[in-house]
Amino acid sequence: MLPLLGVLLAAFPALTNRLASAQTADVLKSHNDCANTGQNLQEKLLTPALLRAGRFGLLFRIPVDAGVGPNIPHNLSGAQIYAQPLYLAGTPLPDGRRRNVLFVATEHDSVYAFDADSGETLWKRTDFVDGQTRQPFFGNSDLQPEIGVTGTPVIDPATGTLYVVVLTMENGGLTPSDYHQRLYALDCATGANKFAPGFPVEITATSTGTEGRPDTGPITFRPDLENQRCGLVLNAGKVYIAWASHQDKGPYHGWVIACDARTGAVRAALNDSPSVAQFGAGIWQSGGSPSIDTAGNVYVSTGNGVFDAPTGNWGECFLKLNGETLNVKDYFCPFNHVGLDRGDADLGTSGMLLLPDDVGSAKHRHLMFSGGKVGMLSLVDRDALGGFDAAANKVVQEIEVPADGDGNTSKQWYGLYSVPAYFHGAVYYLRTGEYLKRVPIANGRLEESQTVSNTSLRFGFPGATPSVSADGADNGVVWVTESYYPTGLNMRDHADPGRMRLHAYDAATLEELYSSGDTAPTIDGVVYRNFMKFNPPTITNGRVYVATAGSILVYGVKSPALGIDVTADVKIKRGKIKVDKATGRMTQTVTLTNVGAATLPSPVSLALDSLSAGVRLTLESGSGNGATSASGQAGVFYHNFPALAPKQSVSAVLTFLPFPPRGPKTATVDYTPRVLAGGEAR
């Protein structure tokens, strides 16, 4: 029998997605959410004013897999980290304490849980399959010297589960059967396997098709040829996973597979190139995950391959898939798809940014934004993607490739090898060889004439995936990492072979607020020269986490001002817990009264020490909820109130959600209240 929480999730499949969107200070998947907006709207500390004041910088590093990998100048010893670090606030651990936890997966097939505030290792998994070694270098230059976990995992906060795809090899890799890709479900608190016997599940799938052969026998998923670069995404009780190739080693195909999040069973699978023998329309999206709308439709972009809709070959396409069956519901294919395919100029280098309805129009309410290697950017109607027209692309709007002074519009200069971001009525993107750009969008149109650029720096390959932190609609900051690549691979004003920088920009003006400097950072006498390509920074709770070869670099506020404990001056009245059995939500009205003689400065924060392990405080109210990093014990949830004058009272409704190990009918809400006032960090 399923635990009570599992029964609840099975009865209400949309709950998982709502939970993911509610906990916006958590970073549960690549680029933050199912729409791939890249935004965290619950960031209170990292404001433009603080960054301008010079109070932000590199704090410490967290090493991973020491001694693994080549010890050469641009790639220090340690496993590569292509998966974006993930963050789950206030995670209850076996010792009874809560911690803010940072999860890191490496190409050495290691998965770590670190205390996100101190860098302490909480647990580490390297024993996924006994006796099997890591996948070696395939003869390509993209992923080396080993290939393990590449795609960013995904976390289900409702069950405290991290899902990750692990690639392993045995018997020297002499035959295809020696290679394995498995989906694991790991306990966020301990790293232990969950949901046995369904997990871990060996990824298998078949489809009909010829694969260029004279017969029409089934096509089988090849774990030795399929590269799982896309981030994972979770919705409605299913984990969606996408695959491409290892630098076009065939025969490969673009696969999308949906696995049941509780049993591991394959619920649906799509092979997007069943008649193709070599270039199989891989889905890689520069590491971005498939996108999912509120109706459960799945969106992906495909790479080089044949386009022929009647035979189900979807090379060079934007695809809209049924979330239950993964059947193609709609598509867009550019008029010049043959030229794109022949020129290795695949459309599928970017993830799909799903835009909010309020920037659409009556005619085009549901919009999507993406691009490809040639740099053409497309605004597409998700209700009518545009199909194929041999004369012209039938999309809502296109942003052309810019022509610079020498007229160069080569794909190498302006490709979009990244996932755009959205914040407060604007789209942000950074193509190869170009400047970071902000384009307002309203009434279903990108206002190109209002484009803002930061012209102080052209980025080399591969550009960058922007991420945004903000406090609601205020204090927006755009974050990007500038990757290092050997000079022969660099493009445009990127001659310094040692440059590796974190940049922060004002979201409204693109004024540069912070740069980590013109020289590579040095920690403990070690120089770090390589941020990982396609891997955006993770921003939350006053910290920025950046992946390198062998380490996570942790940036944050230097010497933040802490709130003062004023519990003795506050009367705290806690109301009765109300339980909504239909959703599992529990609510409690809490009233604070200042019984002291002085005004308590804003923010006044109610900290919930020793909160029951079976629940989490949600961030749905928008009143500055979070989890402490610096005040008292890290990982304690808190809720903010405004300043309180003497004898003044203020009330709020706190909302809690069930969290393992208990279900909604058995969970209790209990905590020791503590009140902080003033300061910055919590």
Report pLDDT digits (tens) over 233-260: 999 999 999 999 988 888 899 999 999 9
Write out pLDDT tens, residues 76-106: 567 889 999 999 999 999 998 999 999 999 9
- Please, what are the domains in the chain? 4-557 (2.140.10.10), 564-677 (2.60.40.290)
CB of 409 closer than 8 Å to CB of 433: no
Best-predicted range by mean pLDDT (68-72, 450-454, 542-546): 542-546
- Angstrom CA distances, 206 to 229, 271, 322, stand at 20, 8, 18
Determine the Cα–Cα distance for residues 599 and 671; give it in Å rounded to an integer: 26
Q: Which residues are CB-contacts of 96 (< 8 A; sequence separation ≥ 6)?
A: 613
What's the pLDDT score for residue 2? 30
| Mean of pLDDT values over 301-309 | 95
Give yes or no for a contact between 396 and 380, defined as CB atoms under 8 angstroms apart. yes
DSSP annotation of 363 reads S
Q: List, in order, residues 6 or more apart from 338 with CB less than 8 Å away.
A: none
Contact of 464 with 483, CB cutoff 8 Å? yes
Using a 10 angstrom Cβ sphere, with 0-12 exposed, 13-18 middle and 19 or more buried, the burial of residue 654 is buried
Q: Residues 6 or more apart from 290 whose CB is under 8 A from it?
A: 230, 233, 240, 242, 256, 283, 298, 299, 300, 352
| Residue 495, pLDDT score | 38
Axis-axis angle for helices 4-11, 15-22 (nearest 10): 100
Q: Which of 77, 131, 81, 130 is CA-nearest to residue 110?
A: 81
Closest by CA to 165, choosing from 139, 135, 190, 137, is 135
Q: What is the pLDDT, as a whole number, of residue 632?
A: 80
Residues 188-203: what's their mean pLDDT?
A: 96
Q: Is 637 helix (H, G, I), strand (E, B) or coil?
A: strand
**Chain mean pLDDT for the chain:** 87
The residue count of the chain comes to 682
- The CA dihedral of 261, 189, 554, 624, to the nearest 10 degrees, is 80
Give the DSSP H or E segment for 513.
Answer: strand 512-515
Give the pLDDT band (50/70/90) at residue 555: very high
State the burial class of residue 384 (Cβ atoms within 10 Å of its Cβ: 0-12, 13-18, 19+): middle
pLDDT at 335 over 80: yes
pLDDT value of residue 273? 94
Of the pLDDT bands very low, low, confident and very high (cuts 50, 70, 90), residue 345 is confident
Of all helices (H) and strands (E), which one includes residue 5? Answer: helix 4-11
Using pLDDT thresholds of 50, 70 and 90, give the confidence band for residue 520.
low
Model confidence band, residue 14 (pLDDT cutoffs 50, 70, 90): very low
pLDDT at 560 over 80: yes
C-beta atoms surrounding 214 within 10 Å = 5
**pLDDT for the residue numbered 581:** 83
The pLDDT assigned to 139 comes to 63
Residues 6+ apart with CB under 8 A from 233: 29, 34, 154, 239, 240, 289, 290, 291, 292
Q: What is the pLDDT of residue 456?
A: 82
Cβ-contact 543, 555 below 8 angstroms: yes
Split at pLDDT 50, 70, 90, the class of 74 is very low
What pLDDT score does 310 carry? 95
Q: How far apart are CA 509 and CA 453, in angstroms?
A: 8
Asked if 366 and 379 count as a contact pair (C-beta separation under 8 A), the reply is no
Say whether pLDDT at 661 is over 70: no
Render pLDDT for 368-404 as a digit per residue (tens, 0 to 9).
999 999 889 999 999 999 999 999 999 999 998 766 5
For tokens 């396409």, the residue is 317
- Rounded mean pLDDT of 603-617? 93
Query: 273: which 2 tokens?
Result: 């190139």
Please, what is the end-to-end C-alpha distance for the chain in angstroms?
A: 41
The per-residue pLDDT for 135 is 62
Question: Is residue 677 a contact partner of residue 604, using CB atoms and an 8 Å limit?
Answer: yes
Q: What is the dihedral of CA 436, 448, 316, 138, to 10 degrees?
A: 0
Find the mean pLDDT for residues 37-58. Answer: 95
- Please state which of the ranges 142-151, 336-345, 513-522 shows the lowest mean pLDDT: 513-522
Alpha carbon separation from 522 to 55, 183, 303 (Å, rounded)? 19, 37, 38
Q: What is the pLDDT of residues 102-141, one digit of tens each?
A: 999 999 999 999 999 999 999 999 988 766 766 665 666 6
Lowest mean pLDDT among 8-22, 95-109, 370-384, 529-543: 8-22
Looking at residue 233, the DSSP 8-state letter turns out to be E
Instruction: Please indicate whether residue 523 or residue 487 has the higher confidence score (pLDDT).
Output: 523
pLDDT band of residue 649 (cuts 50, 70, 90) is very high
CA max distance for the chain: 88
DSSP letters for 421-467: EEETTEEEE--TTS--EEEEEETTEE-GGG-EE-TT----TT----E
Answer yes or no: is pLDDT of 573 > 60.
yes
* pLDDT at position 517: 75
Please give the average per-residue pLDDT across 32-51, as a whole number.
95
Least reliable range by pLDDT among 151-160, 185-194, 306-315, 523-532: 523-532
Cα 35 from Cα 40, distance rounded (Å): 13
Is a pLDDT exceeding 60 seen at residue 493? Answer: no
Helix or strand or coil: residue 18? Answer: helix
* Residue 418 vs residue 146, higher pLDDT: 418
In the prediction, which pLDDT does 172 show? 76
